[in-house]
Amino acid sequence: MRLSVFGCGYLGAVHAAAMASIGHEVVGVDVDPRKIESLTKGEAPFFEPGLQQLLTEGIASGRLSFTTDASAAAGAKVHFVGVGTPQQAGGHAADLTYVNTAIDDLLPHLSAGDIVAGKSTVPVGTAAELAPRISAAGAVLVWNPEFLREGWAVQDTIDPDRLVAGVPSGAEGERAAEVLREVYHPAVAKGTPFIVTDYATAELVKVSANAFLATKISFINAMAEIAEATGADVTQLADAIGHDARIGRKFLGAGIGFGGGCLPKDIRAFAARAEELGRGESVNFLREVDAINLRRRDRAVQLVVDGLGGSVYGKKVAVLGAAFKPHSDDVRDSPALDVAVRLNGLGADVVVTDPQAIENARRLHPQLTFEADRDETIRGAAAVVMVTEWDEYRRELSPEHAASLTDGRVVVDGRNGLDAAAWRAAGWSYFGMGRP
């Protein structure tokens, strides 16, 4: 089937390449000529495991192409819209400028019977507002939210754990759902749940899923705050309650909290939309979820200050990690980078390393010092702070090796990913998040 994908950022580029890999003919459209030039060469403009191979294979096969010309979408049966919905400047609501612009660019090239499939994370009610414009062009709008995990986005696109399609009522909605089943035929054939809903439910599935995950993370971080006040160990607490099948252990990792381009802005936009609907009280808890999340960054900084005797001024602090999570180069709202910036503001000589995110981090915070080599980063440091749980830091850096390079023996484990007993046995003062 011929498909178009409007927006070739993180979501769109992965979706386009993944759809080509399962046999579709796909054209990706974006207004950024540099991004399109990179993708046309088969070069991924960001780090995502597996994406480079899909791009190379898709372009070589002739099934995948990229352009800045929206007219290239003409003739596609399904048009995906996967542009960004950032937080509004000066507010918490989602900015739909890119969504509206993409629809404006697409409308002249639609044909009767086409399907426009929105994938962007949008406030509930957006699809209902867009649908009349799509219908006037003879096409049908569906809302097909994405559920990608950065670092596993290729896998999540090709082999998702569920597919959701918000469609209009009646025969045209049923037809649109059947076409989407064809688009995702390998996943549907293996039994992946395919859930057909109305527009509002499909929009809410995405934002409520993100709200739940954010709540679970902030819950365990709230327990970490209690653990710190009582001497309890939040990692053992999480293990114990995680054995309850109703709760589960996933997303109960206490630490410096969540970040990235989705969870923080999505829970804020969800709360803002609830206020607009007159139901703000229903999601008031999300504001506390956000506040707890931000407090953990403060706590990590305070642990470094305490570990260095009350002041970090003039002392070298090695920060292991800049991306908001491993297997990504994404530094949007990164807790790791935020901790580094705050320590720098207190006068520490901060050196940051990361396997993939250094260039993105440098563009965002040129005032920091960056070093690609892990060992050079920690050489001569008074304290080491692990804030992104890359294997290079969590598993492959032994406390004995680290001790041979540093001047101090203070380690702050912002992700509770290190073996506390092993580091203490090697002579380190170990500080975890919510751990004695």
> Do residues 246 and 67 touch, judged by C-beta distance below 8 A?
no
Quick count: other Cβ atoms within 10 Å of Cβ 317?
29
Residue from 10, 6, 174 nearest 79 by CA: 6
Active-site residue among 227, 262, 411, 420? 262
Catalytic annotation present for 262: yes
**How buried is 419 (Cβ within 10 angstroms: 0-12 exposed, 13-18 middle, 19+ buried)?**
middle
**How buried is 329 (Cβ within 10 angstroms: 0-12 exposed, 13-18 middle, 19+ buried)?**
buried
Long-range contacts of 274-280 (CB under 8 A, 24+ apart): 276/93, 276/123, 277/124
Residue from 173, 294, 283 nearest 225 by CA: 294
At residue 150's C-alpha, the angle toward residues 147 and 151, to 5°, is 125
> Phi and psi dihedrals of 42, rounded to 5?
80, 20
* β-pair type (410-413, 383-386): parallel
CA–CA distance, 136 with 50 (Å, rounded to integer): 39
> Do residues 331 and 319 touch, judged by C-beta distance below 8 A?
no
b/e 59-94 (16+ beta carbons within 10 angstroms → b): beeebbbbbeebebbbebbbbbbbbbbebbeeebbb
CA–CA distance, 242 with 236 (Å, rounded to integer): 10
| H helix runs in 44-165, sequence order | 51-61, 97-106, 126-136, 153-158
CA–CA distance, 161 with 165 (Å, rounded to integer): 14
Task: Fill in the amino acid letter for 163.
Answer: L
By annotation, the residues acting in catalysis are: 262
